[in-house]
Amino acid sequence: MTDLRHILLRSHDLGLLGPGRVADQLEHARSFVEFLSGRVPADAQVVDLGTGGGVPGVVIAAESELRVVMVEASERRIAFLRWAILELGLRSASVVHGRAEEVARRADLREAADVVTARSFAEPATTAECAAGLVAVGGRLVVSEPPGGLRHERWPVDGLAQLGFAEADRATGERWTLQEFRKVGRCDDRTPRTGRLLAKRPLWSV
């Protein structure tokens, strides 16, 4: 069976991972696994937004018992993720091809996830709005934050409340910061809006 590092090196060689050393990206993705351990049931459902070249979705699936659904709009990246799942023998992982705001309206995924994760997915308002349609009430949104990011400017309380979210925990490592929000109420049936509206009229701007 192929190991996880080989998968990410292959992803990097194909130009599917962002800039930075593969070892650092693997460490960063593992921070999601560490953060979720003990916070959610071992078999909880995780939806990873914009998994891209495999982080953090493939890493979460490979290093935990969590059921991971990887959402990705790029056909090329979807093909890679399917290959990675087969190579690693990830029986509890699956991929969904589509834009997050459209996937969030699927009946089988609508407000059904225990956790939604996002790393370098989109601006905060877009990330939160897409996630709101996927996270179950009582569930969590866990996002990777830039170093030194001003939390309350990036994630205003009033904006989050419109989507049913409330700020929860925050964890910081040597090279990473994760911010957690809890889903405390259902979102509007119109959430998330279309991609065009998300881009033109975000609920807030940073």
- Residue pair 54/16 in contact by the 8 Å Cβ criterion: yes
pTM of the model: 0.96
Domain positions in the chain: 4-200
What architecture is the 4-200 domain classified under in CATH?
Answer: 3-Layer(aba) Sandwich (3.40)
Residues 6+ away with beta carbon under 8 Å from 115 = 36, 40, 44, 45, 46, 47, 66, 135, 139, 140, 141, 142
Written as one letter, the residue type at 138 is: G
CA nearest to 109, candidates 86, 131, 84: 131
Express each pLDDT in 57-69 by its tens digit: 999 999 999 999 9
**Strands 67-72 and 93-97, how do they pair?**
parallel
| pLDDT the model gives residue 1 | 52
Within 37-180, where are the H helices? 57-62, 75-88, 100-103, 124-132, 151-154, 157-162
Express each pLDDT in 18-59 by its tens digit: 889 999 999 999 999 999 999 999 999 999 999 999 999 999
Express each pLDDT in 96-154 by its tens digit: 999 999 999 999 999 999 999 999 999 999 999 999 999 999 999 999 998 776 678 89
Which residue, chain included where needed, has tokens 């493939």? Answer: 58
* Main-chain phi, psi angles of 15, to 5 degrees: 75, 25
- Residue pair 125/159 in contact by the 8 Å Cβ criterion: yes
* C-alpha to C-alpha distance for 34 and 105, rounded to whole angstroms: 29
* C-alpha to C-alpha distance for 188 and 132, rounded to whole angstroms: 9
- Residue pair 176/119 in contact by the 8 Å Cβ criterion: no
